[in-house]
Structure 1
């Protein structure tokens, strides 16, 4: 009888099952809005302290403070995004022409390697099919502009209600999380640092690598250097290969076109960009939050697969928070286990000292 589960615990289990079931149902059917929600969370973490300063110290109206912060974020996010998107759209609008040039350059590189080494490096690849695939892919890339705009608008909509009810929301979250306040604060502070490190760090590292290679593009007269700069900066986010996926083919094209000095120069600045990446990661980023390189690599792979583009930020965070939760689990329950063991030892000691 003593081992039977009480009715109260059964009701708790049923209620928790219903809660998790409804949460799964809601999350599954609103999964398309997950990038918007994560974007809103990111902006909330960045603007939270500024919002409280404006509303509580400077006595701004909440709607005015939110409007100002949203306008600021638009200038910081949308203007660079618009420039990049406009550059890419102009180039990709003539994607067929650029793809034909790329195929021609690929054929020249292939023939050059074959003549020099006798090795047919792409004998099994149908270049025409690659070109057809690239045309389809670039067309679909242009169509994602509307999706990006929708995601940004929805993120701002969610952000408004997160900020307007920020104090109540944070109190509700503290009550809902079954952890000690010290551990809740630890998770919150680590989460904030991780978001800042990824939001600030990813663009800084990408731009740093892109600018380094851009110098090489400009010095050695590579055509469309700023377009290639954007591609290199974006490619630097790709794990393992990084910007090499852009500057190595550019170097090969220069070599095929009888410009070995330019080819070597671009390749040199490409390798130099890898050093810039390491310097930025171990100096600038380490001051914000010390994120292990493997965490970044596997986090980005995971994030892109699960969350899409916003996964560049939340992939590494997901891995870091998981490791932090393991530490919190040890902190929460190892002390309880020790306390129970001490209580048991005390009981045994008392029982031994009781005279019979």
Structure 2
């Protein structure tokens, strides 16, 4: 075989060198701007949510882009950011006061454990696991206050980035479209799927969690649960976790109340949460999430775990999005480099040639 056939093509070498250079430069940029990654993700999320309203104001109502951007920023701040920030800030403030709450938390856990063991004689949580749980809660409480200050910085820089996305949306979308190294069909697939995933994670899941939290709060007040406002915040956060959901909060609370001698209120709260909170969850998921993207529970579970480690509380939203986008990129990679050139992504119907350029707008 001639030596020339064994040599790597010059074009391949150039392509590999260019890819390596791009990866190095992107890595350097991300490393030095890591502080702003949550802000960038937040800005992209708000842009996707508010895009159609922005285009309506600019292109239909003929508003000035700066005025439309300002209105969108104020609306998202009042409707989306401030309510969630208030709940998270309240939770951080409560749990961040280690001296006031860690003693109560430890007593609460011990009471629940001892009561369960006395009733069924099964050591669900060993002493070693109890100590690990208390240590983890203590570590979280001591580091929670720093998240409060970081959250304000993230929100400020997020809206700074968002403003420049909103004032010229078409140019911003064209920049993303031209930068994506994919076929137009896969750009359409990415845009539509990401839009649905972002709306499902940033709107659908928090709304369902807020509904369960509010309904749970009513029950906590009715049956005299300890610290009902704190339990509301915990229920809101726990409701985002698939499978276990709000039960991870109200079940130990009910057991604690029964162990304290409040058998009637404890059983009443248990029945209320199982029926009313559970019904609220099923109703909202059936009416709201069914209309949005169907996200696999494992994506949510692993996304929350990874997102909380990377972004803190913001990881409740960004984590599942990152996991879902990663899975989607694997699908796009298969579509881009499949041996079958005629293969068409199953999740998308290709538009006619005269509609293809309009469909590219689905990138956001």
Query: Which category describes the TM-score, using the shorter chain as reference length?
Result: 0.7 to 0.9
Q: How does 1:221-240 map to 2 (within 5 A)?
A: 221-240=224-243
**1:177 aligns to 2:188 (yes or no):** no
| Structure-2 change in CA distance of 1:28 and 1:124 (3 Å) | same
CA RMSD across the alignment: 3.1
2:289 to 267, 271, 285: 285
1:198 to 178, 201, 213: 201
CA displacement at 1:318 relative to structure 2: 3.2
Is residue 113–residue 125 contact of structure 2 (8 Å, CA) maintained in 1?
yes
Is residue 93–residue 145 contact of structure 2 (8 Å, CA) maintained in 1?
no
Is residue 35–residue 308 contact of structure 1 (8 Å, CA) maintained in 2?
no
User: Which residue in the other structure is 2:350 paired with?
Assistant: none
Is residue 242–residue 297 contact of structure 2 (8 Å, CA) maintained in 1?
no
User: Which residue in the other structure is 1:296 paired with?
Assistant: 300
Q: Secondary structure at the match of 1:21?
A: helix
Give the number of equivalent residue pairs. Answer: 339
Cα displacement string for residues 270-301 of structure 1 (whole angstroms, at most 9, x for unaligned residues) = 33334533443343102122222333223323
Counterpart CA distance in 2 for 1:120 and 1:314 is: 37
Is residue 38–residue 310 contact of structure 1 (8 Å, CA) maintained in 2?
no
CA displacement at 1:206 relative to structure 2: 0.8
Q: Secondary structure at the match of 1:267?
A: helix
Is residue 108–residue 256 contact of structure 2 (8 Å, CA) maintained in 1?
yes
CA displacement at 1:232 relative to structure 2: 1.1
CA displacement at 1:75 relative to structure 2: 0.9
CA displacement at 1:258 relative to structure 2: 1.5
| Structure-2 change in CA distance of 1:282 and 1:29 (3 Å) | same
Q: Secondary structure at the match of 2:224?
A: coil
After the TM superposition, which of the residue ranges 42-51 and 312-321 deviates more from structure 2? Answer: 312-321
Counterpart CA distance in 1 for 2:86 and 2:12 is: 58
Counterpart CA distance in 1 for 2:325 and 2:155 is: 25
**1:316 aligns to 2:325 (yes or no):** no
Q: How does 1:12-31 map to 2 (within 5 A)?
A: 12-31=15-34
User: Which residue in the other structure is 2:347 paired with?
Assistant: none
CA displacement at 1:191 relative to structure 2: 0.8
Give unpaired runs (5+ residues) of structure 2: 344-364
Is residue 96–residue 143 contact of structure 2 (8 Å, CA) maintained in 1?
no
Is residue 174–residue 184 contact of structure 1 (8 Å, CA) maintained in 2?
yes
CA displacement at 1:251 relative to structure 2: 0.9
**1:168 aligns to 2:188 (yes or no):** no
Cα displacement string for residues 138-188 of structure 1 (whole angstroms, at most 9, x for unaligned residues) = 242122111000011111111122223432232232223233323211210
Cα displacement string for residues 196-222 of structure 1 (whole angstroms, at most 9, x for unaligned residues) = 111111212212222332333222122
**1:276 aligns to 2:280 (yes or no):** yes
User: Which residue in the other structure is 2:49 paired with?
Assistant: 46
Cα displacement string for residues 79-133 of structure 1 (whole angstroms, at most 9, x for unaligned residues) = 3145325644664576533333333444444444455456666673598997677
Cα displacement string for residues 279-332 of structure 1 (whole angstroms, at most 9, x for unaligned residues) = 433431021222223332233233333444333233333343344344444544
1:11 to 9, 14, 19: 14
Q: How does 1:1-356 map to 2 (within 5 A)?
A: 1=4, 4-84=7-87, 87-88=90-91, 91-92=94-95, 95-113=98-116, 115-116=118-119, 124-125=127-128, 134=137, 137-272=140-275, 273-334=277-338, 336-337=340-341
Q: Secondary structure at the match of 2:288?
A: helix
| Structure-2 change in CA distance of 1:117 and 1:60 (3 Å) | closer
Cα displacement string for residues 247-271 of structure 1 (whole angstroms, at most 9, x for unaligned residues) = 1221122111222222222222333
